[in-house]
Amino acid sequence: MNKGGLLAVFIFAVTILLVVAGTRWPVPSAAAYAGGGQVSRTASSPEAAVSNLCDRIRAHAWDDAYNSLANKARFSALDFQHDLNGTYPGLLTYTNLDSFEMQPLHASASDAEIRLRLKWATVVGPSVTTRQLRVVRNGDRWQVEWPITSQPTLAPEVIPVNYLRWDVIDRGAGDDWGMQNVDAPHVRIVDMHPVQRAEGTVILGELLNDDIYPAYVAVTATLLRKDQTPIATEGSFDKISHVLLPKQVTPFLILFPDVTLADVGSVRMTPFSSLIAASADPVIEIQSQHMSPAPDASLSGQLVNQSGQVANVAHVLAAFYDSTGQVVWIADQYVDRALLPQTPTPFDIHIPEDLARKIASERTVVASYSFGGTES
């Protein structure tokens, strides 16, 4: 073979080798697109079987994921999908699986148990669900037995609805000057307390709608140095219930990342309110609230939708008080399942361990959202 021929063979060979290497050990950016790192493995181990299942869930390949299960005969593919994403639209319905973690609990030659943490990237923040999986050996491969949980469904029923609703007609642009408008609702901050946390300075407080109409509310805070120059301005964003019915109180939390409380001379609070069209429904009861002590301190309970309509996304905000009644922390959780009428749905809000011991009481509020409508 002449020199040119050798060169051609060399180029072919090196190209093929490089492609093989790139496929067997993808570079990070390629691995990210390939679903986490490697070519889809054969399910030669319990971890590989779970990992393959998660890759399929991440890729929304529901049928493939379902077909890989050992116990698929006990439920349908739709049941499996609803178990993961909910029967009714909720936070997880249109969400992608961001990552997952496996913790082997037990393993033998024929079966294994693995605790699986699925981290979903929901629009309001990460949401974690945990499942304990049994993985069984089937010939030369392992298969996951999915612990299906049946999802509640609503029986056909007619529920008469008779709830309060407020609409707002603002003055138009063409109205005369001096024409009377309806005043913004009167709101007031009934508690405010800055604390230093590892992530920065945090302003905790509570806001009351002191009016007779529903109010859209927001709170911004400006931290001032001792010489009264501003350090930073931040808002409550989603750490507040933005719609308050008359005499309703919401906790709020404003985070100033990387600001030290010692540098703060004073805080300027600016509550904002405006009239808003709103309804008094749905009424959501917070049942069986229970504080678990540290470690793993948390506030758990169940939400019961007292209304006839589905609340697709619920946001639970809890204010924690010390024995003197001062707010010491505010925490929240988005419930990733839709709240069906009269169907208890659990929630569990984590409490920082260093604060858990100080907490003597708590108060919880719930805000909810329904797709295609405006809720409170």
Partner 1 sequence: MQNSESNTWMQRSIPISLVLMTALAVHLPLLLLMLPLKSYDTNLHIFFASHYAHHWFDPWNTKWYAGFTQTTYPPLPQQWVALISPLLGLDLGYMAIQLIAILLLAVGVYRFSLLWVSPRAASFAALASVFLGSESFLVYSAGQLPTTFAAPIYLNALPFLFEWVRFRSWSSFFKAIALFTAAAAAHHFTLLFGSFFFAIPVLALAFRDRADGQSVTMRACAMRTILIVAVVSVAIAVVLLPFWIALFRYPVTQTPIPHPSRANYILNPEWGLNYFVIPYGAMILALPYIIVRGSTFARLRPLLFGFWIAFLIGLGGTTPVGHWLLGRAFDVLTMERFSYWATLLALPIVGMMASELVGRFRATAAFALSILAAGTCAAAVGWVTWHPNDAQDFKVNEVAAWLNRDGHDSYRYVTLGFGNKLSRLSTLTDAGSVDGEWNSGRRLPELTHYGVGALTSSKYFGEAGLDSLRAMLRHADYYGLKWVIVRDHYYDPLLWFAGWRPVDSLDDKTITIWSKDGVPPATAVNSSQIPPRWQGLMWGTLPFGSSVIAIFLLLIPARKRHRVRHEYPFPVNEEDLAPGRLAS
Partner 2 sequence: MRRGFPLLMTGLALAMMADLAIAQEQGINLPKSIEAGSVFSVRCSGSGEGTVYIVGPGQVLRRDVQLGSTTSFPAGSLTHAGRYLAILSASGSSSDAGSNPVSSFDVVPASEPAKISFLARPSRLPVDIHDAITGAVYLFDTYQNLILTPMPVSFDLTNPSGAGQKRSVTTRDGAAWTAMDSSAHDGTDHFVASAGDVSSARAVVQVAGDACNLRMSVTPSDGKLVVATDPVRDCSGNAVPDGTIVTFTEAANGSKTTVDVPLKRGIAKVEMPEVQGAIFTVASGVSLGNQVRWEK
Q: Are 282 and 375 in contact (CB under 8 A)?
A: yes
Q: Are 274 and 242 in contact (CB under 8 A)?
A: no
| Smallest separation, CB 53 to partner 1 (Å) | 18
248 belongs to the binding site for partner 2 (CB under 8 A): yes
Nearest alpha carbon to residue 168 among 263, 278, 4, 32:
278
357 belongs to the binding site for partner 2 (CB under 8 A): no
Of these partners, partner 2, partner 1, none, which one is at the site of residue 354 (CB under 5 to 8 Å by kind)? none
Of these partners, partner 2, partner 1, none, which one is at the site of residue 122 (CB under 5 to 8 Å by kind)? partner 1
71 belongs to the binding site for partner 2 (CB under 8 A): no
| Smallest separation, CB 320 to partner 1 (Å) | 20
290 belongs to the binding site for partner 2 (CB under 8 A): yes
- How far apart are the C-alpha atoms of 68 and 346, rounded to whole Å? 30
363 belongs to the binding site for partner 2 (CB under 8 A): yes
Of these partners, partner 2, partner 1, none, which one is at the site of residue 285 (CB under 5 to 8 Å by kind)? partner 2
Amino acid letter, 84:
L
Whose Cβ is closer to partner 1: residue 146's or residue 334's? 334
Nearest alpha carbon to residue 169 among 181, 177, 179, 185:
181
Whose Cβ is closer to partner 1: residue 97's or residue 116's? 97
Whose Cβ is closer to partner 1: residue 143's or residue 236's? 236
Using CB under 8 A, pick the residue from 2, 108, 180, 324 that binds partner 2: 180
3-class secondary-structure state, position 228:
coil
Whose Cβ is closer to partner 1: residue 154's or residue 218's? 218
3-class secondary-structure state, position 57:
helix
| Smallest separation, CB 285 to partner 2 (Å) | 4
Q: How many C-beta atoms lie closer than 10 Å to residue 200's C-beta?
A: 15
Beta bridge partner(s), residue 329? 320
Exposure string of 119-144, with b = 16+ CB inside 10 Å and e = fewer, is ebebeeeebeeebebbbebeeeebbb
Nearest alpha carbon to residue 43 among 33, 55, 35, 51:
51
From 46-54, 61-69, 114-122, 278-286, give the range in contact with partner 2 by CB under 8 A: 278-286
Of these partners, partner 1, partner 2, none, which one is at the site of residue 237 (CB under 5 to 8 Å by kind)? partner 1
| Smallest separation, CB 90 to partner 2 (Å) | 22
3-class secondary-structure state, position 65:
helix
348 dihedral zone (left: phi>0; alpha: psi -120 to 50; beta):
beta
8-state DSSP, 58:
H
Q: Which residues bind partner 1 (CB under 8 A)?
A: 2, 4-8, 11-12, 15, 18-19, 21-23, 25-34, 39, 91, 94, 96, 98, 119, 121-126, 173, 216, 218, 220, 233-235, 237-238, 240, 242, 272, 274, 276, 312-313, 315, 334, 367, 369, 371-372, 374-375
Q: Which x/- pattern over 149-168 shows residues binding partner 2 (rule: CB under 8 A)?
A: -------------xxx-x--
Whose Cβ is closer to partner 1: residue 222's or residue 300's? 222
> 364 is written with which tokens?
């919880």
3-class secondary-structure state, position 53:
helix
Q: How many C-beta atoms lie closer than 10 Å to residue 149's C-beta?
A: 10
Residues that bind partner 2 (CB under 8 A): 162-164, 166, 176-178, 180-183, 190, 208, 210-214, 245-249, 280, 283-290, 301, 306, 363-365
